[in-house]
Copies of this chain bind each other. A is one copy, B any other.
């Protein structure tokens, strides 16, 4: 694909998406998110050679939030293997909001998938018990193509506001689906949610997913290909909360959103990253979804395209 074609697609898709921002609203879950400028939209696309085409607020930093669930899943798969991870968490979409407790009560002990909060907390507990924070951050640097850091204010606010996560973790621990050190798991969980990234970081991550686990900038194999195949499958079926099905129809890309406004996606050989803090009712970035759907259509990126 020629650079000029991509650049034009990024620009026109950005302009198209920009027109929908007023449908959404920023998350008011914590003060820092509530104070975010809802009119921002940044988009970045990275090619296999590491070139990045960006538009709008592509350098603005924001907390990655649920995109950390992909990081945790990949790192857990890498260091623990498929079997140990999927002994603790499933790979099924749920149709429920990301923070719903009902299936935990009614449908067995294992959370449905690693991208709902319950499942992500479970995966995080595996990391807490088997890895050091420094190593996970090192992994983040590689995935994002540069240094990233925890925003300590976001972390503190998340920890205080995240009572529903405390509730889930204690419920799972009471059922034996989670270990005893609930506070440790949640501290790590909230910490990873609070890592600041920008759209270019997400495009780098997307390009790594497109490249079978190799860094588009350094060429290093960050995770083996089977981790990527597994991760992309779960991203497509579960990555956009209970809007995953609609996104599969409209964009057809493995993707993951966060309530900080980010979306990471991969299509063909490209990595895509967006930042648009105005969210729809399911917690997905309005501008990000519109951008992803439009550029997927323009460049024929959907895995379901004919």
How many copies of the chain does the oligomer comprise? 4
A105 touches B95 (CB 8 A): no
CB distance from A220 to the nearest CB of B (A): 15
Which chain B positions have C-beta within 8 A of A243? Answer: 92
Is the CB of A20 closer than 8 A to any CB of chain B? no
Inter-subunit contact B92/A244 (CB<8 Å): yes
B306 A225 Cβ-Cβ under 8 A:
yes
Total interface residues in chain A, CB < 8 Å: 54
At the interface with chain B, which of A34-42, A55-63, A169-177, A193-201?
A169-177
Contact call B303/A303, Cβ cutoff below 8 A: yes
Interface of A is mostly: helix
Nearest CB on B from A25, distance (A):
20
| A229 and chain B: residue at smallest CB distance | B304
Q: A93-B95, A100-B105, A171-B101 are in contact. Are A233 and B248 (CB under 8 A)?
A: yes
Contacts of A1 in B (CB 8 A): none
Instruction: Name the B residues within 8 Å of A246 (CB-CB).
Output: 90-92
Given A170-B164, A170-B166, A306-B212, A93 and B252 contact (CB-CB distance below 8 Å): no
A157 vs chain B, min Cβ distance (A): 14
Contact flag A252-B233 (CB < 8 Å), given A163-B171, A164-B170, A245-B113: yes
Pairs A–B under 8 Å by Cβ, sample size 11:
A92-B245, A95-B112, A101-B171, A106-B106, A164-B171, A167-B167, A167-B170, A213-B306, A228-B304, A228-B306, A233-B304
Closest 10 CB pairs of A and B: A212-B306, A163-B174, A93-B93, A94-B95, A92-B245, A167-B170, A167-B171, A303-B303, A166-B170, A225-B306
